[in-house]
Chains A and B, each alone.
Chain A
Amino acid sequence: MNLILSRPNISISSLYVWQRHRDVFFKIWKTESLGIGLEPWIVILAMGFGLGQFVTLDSGEKYVQFLAPGLMAMFPMFAAIFECGWGAFMRISMHGTYEAILNTPASIEDITTGDILWGTTRATLNATYILIVLLILNHWTDAVNSPYAIGIVFVAILQGFLFSSIAIAFAALARAMSHFGYLFNIIVMPMFWLSGGFFPINELPEWAQNIAWFLPLIHSVELNRALLNGNLTLNMIGDFFWLAIVAIVFYAIALVLMRRRLIV
């Protein structure tokens, strides 16, 4: 079977799949939103104002200012990973949702793409919401210092697509819910702690910095940081392209693995 070379078969049906996820979200948004809604407030309060009291940065920034760009990268990453990881796994392996959709004109690529677009949407909503919270608190945090901050929405779209692709590729490989421990412990958590969101990455030993550079999350944190401060640099081009390359590669991998998973 020619899995890799076959031309991706993508159509308008991927939009219908996205609409299915949107409709489900409208059913459950009250319960879903409670956690997502409270999260940034608590984190900003605890880490920004609480822990922040004990932190002095070389740059002279408040800790909460340092933390803000990371929050807008890390929590959207979780949103995408949960939606396209656990969520997709249940739709593939437990509820037969994909099997049912495959009986309609939708193709495997449509389903995969629709899922990734939905994960991207969730990540983008999440980042936008945190940006709004930071704007509300800006009097105390001084985190948002430039109109370029709106660009964070586009960073969220790019990294949302990326992490959704990684998660769905993993969901296609997983054979049991417990396998998600690998995704979470080997990929997501190290990235969460080492992405330069909590402390400047140049505090790490040189070799660790070199490895960390390849982690995509670092680049969304860097982009967010530049946009919040209005401090645009040429480095951003590198950050953008690395995110785009990783996103495209994992999207292709996700398509191949989903074909392998769903074709019998």
Chain B
Amino acid sequence: MKTAIKASNLSKHFGNIVAVDNINFSVHRGECFGLLGPNGAGKSSTIRMITCSSPLTSGQLMVHGLNVNNEQRSIKSHIGIVPQNDNLDPDLPVKQNLEVYARYYGLNKQLIRRRVEEQLEIFELSDRANSPIHSLSGGMRRRLLIARALLHNPSILILDEPTVGLDPQARHIVWRQLRQLTKNGVTQVLTTHYMDEAEQLCDRIIVINHGKILAEAKPQELIQQYVGNNVLEIPNFSNDIELLKRSLDFTIEYEIFGDKTNIYASDDNLSIISAKIETSSKGNLRKANLEDVFLRLTGRRLVE
């Protein structure tokens, strides 16, 4: 089986609100698959359908070759879930959080003990085994949540904004551990608002907004396709952009975000523009990244 998750014409409505609008995608076995989009785009609704906690409105969704409509117990035993909000059990200390959670999967005592020790070791929490949950730092709680999701050796790991609220050090620790999981062949589906995170971790990405898929590709392909190699970023330029456009003998694409104007064009054309505006305004020519793609695809101020 090469497909870990397959969504066909998947929709989710809440009353009149369409959260997920007839989308199709597949997650391949062993890849890290990114689900990107602004708040309210439909990411979490999609995730909740995959994790069997929200029934589909229409369409079909297969996880690990099983239908989410009627094989929920089985699916849930094959997937691990790292939720967006911390739902560790506040009534139990670190190690017991894991032990009690592993029991829900029906693992036997020896196996539970072994898996818990392993996970505490891998996620560098062994010395906090008996600490109460409230004494842990944000980074530790995240690691514990990921450790908890892996106790039963799931073949698919679902991560809903795995590093939200973490400092850079803590994020790098989590990234390292997620990359290790990819090496071990664990399929990962992750949602994130951090484009550097998606660029670092994901093999393939879909960008969704208003419940629809806007783009699907590898991170580098997305950047090439929607932005190009470089971006010229100019502060306080929104009043001069029309003037610039008229002075050029080629067309450009640009977007204005707050007090910043981003100009997208081929490298040659960008150097022509830089030369032109150098006297008036300080532009910054930089490498295009996934954030540019995200803003171009989902930005409300999309202008051509």
Residues of chain A having any CB pair with chain B under 8 Å: 1, 11-13, 16-17, 19-20, 23-24, 27-28, 95-97, 99-107, 263-264
User: Among the listed B83, B91, B149, which residue makes an inter-chain contact with A99, where contact means beta carbons less than 8 Å apart?
Assistant: B83
Q: Is B277 an interface residue (CB 8 A)?
A: no
What chain B residues lie within 8 Å of A28 (beta carbons)?
A: 91
Closest to B81 in A: A103
Q: Is B9 an interface residue (CB 8 A)?
A: no
Instruction: Count how many pairs of residues, one from A and one from B, have CB atoms less than 8 Å apart in the complex.
Output: 72
What chain B residues lie within 8 Å of A102 (beta carbons)?
A: 53
Q: Assuming A27-B91, A96-B85, is B104 touching A101 (CB within 8 A)?
A: yes
Binds A, one of B26-34, B58-66, B95-103, B279-287: B95-103
Cβ B91 vs Cβ A16 within 8 A: no
What chain A residues lie within 8 Å of B54 (beta carbons)?
A: 263-264
B298 to chain A, nearest CB (A): 24
What chain B residues lie within 8 Å of A105 (beta carbons)?
A: 73-74, 76-77, 104-106
What chain B residues lie within 8 Å of A24 (beta carbons)?
A: 89, 91-92
Interface residues of B in 77-122 (CB under 8 A from A): 77, 81, 83, 85-92, 96, 100-101, 103-106
Closest to B53 in A: A102
A184 to chain B, nearest CB (A): 23
Q: Is B51 an interface residue (CB 8 A)?
A: yes
Cβ A97 vs Cβ B87 within 8 A: yes
A107 to chain B, nearest CB (A): 7
Residues of chain B having any CB pair with chain A under 8 Å: 48, 51, 53-55, 72-74, 76-77, 81, 83, 85-92, 96, 100-101, 103-106, 149
Cβ B101 vs Cβ A104 within 8 A: yes
Q: A96-B87, A102-B53, A104-B76 are in contact. List 19 more A-B contacts (CB 8 A).
A: A13-B106, A16-B103, A16-B104, A23-B92, A23-B96, A24-B92, A28-B91, A96-B86, A97-B91, A100-B88, A100-B89, A100-B101, A103-B51, A104-B105, A105-B73, A105-B77, A105-B106, A264-B48, A264-B54
Closest to B100 in A: A20
Cβ A103 vs Cβ B103 within 8 A: no
What chain B residues lie within 8 Å of A13 (beta carbons)?
A: 104, 106
Cβ A95 vs Cβ B53 within 8 A: no
In whole angstroms, what is the CA distance A96 to B74 when docked? 22
- A to B CB contacts below 8 Å, 23 in the list: A13-B104, A17-B104, A19-B103, A20-B100, A23-B100, A24-B89, A24-B91, A24-B92, A28-B91, A95-B90, A96-B87, A99-B87, A100-B87, A100-B88, A100-B101, A103-B53, A103-B81, A103-B149, A104-B76, A105-B73, A106-B104, A107-B73, A264-B48
In whole angstroms, what is the CA distance A133 to B150 when docked? 47
Q: Assuming A12-B106, A97-B89, is B55 touching A103 (CB within 8 A)?
A: no
Closest to A104 in B: B104
What chain A residues lie within 8 Å of B89 (beta carbons)?
A: 20, 24, 95, 97, 100
In whole angstroms, what is the CA distance A107 to B55 when docked? 14
A95, A97, A104 interface centre (most CB from chain B within 10 Å):
A104
Closest to B90 in A: A95
In whole angstroms, what is the CA distance A66 to B153 when docked? 58
In whole angstroms, what is the CA distance A107 to B100 when docked? 16
What chain B residues lie within 8 Å of A104 (beta carbons)?
A: 76-77, 101, 104-105
Cβ A95 vs Cβ B87 within 8 A: yes
In whole angstroms, what is the CA distance A104 to B48 when docked? 13
B286 to chain A, nearest CB (A): 40
What chain B residues lie within 8 Å of A96 (beta carbons)?
A: 83, 85-87
When A and B form their complex, which 10 residue pairs have the shortest distance between CB atoms, in order from nearest? A96-B87, A104-B104, A100-B87, A103-B81, A24-B91, A105-B73, A105-B76, A105-B77, A16-B103, A20-B100
A234 to chain B, nearest CB (A): 45
Closest to A262 in B: B53
Closest to A11 in B: B73
What chain A residues lie within 8 Å of B103 (beta carbons)?
A: 16, 19-20
What chain A residues lie within 8 Å of B74 (beta carbons)?
A: 105
Closest to A28 in B: B91
A95, A105, A107 interface centre (most CB from chain B within 10 Å):
A105
In whole angstroms, what is the CA distance A100 to B151 when docked? 14
Closest to A19 in B: B103
In whole angstroms, what is the CA distance A264 to B44 when docked? 12
In whole angstroms, what is the CA distance A39 to B106 when docked? 38
In whole angstroms, what is the CA distance A95 to B104 when docked? 18
Closest to A102 in B: B53
Cβ B55 vs Cβ A263 within 8 A: yes
In whole angstroms, what is the CA distance A106 to B48 when docked? 16
What chain A residues lie within 8 Å of B72 (beta carbons)?
A: 107
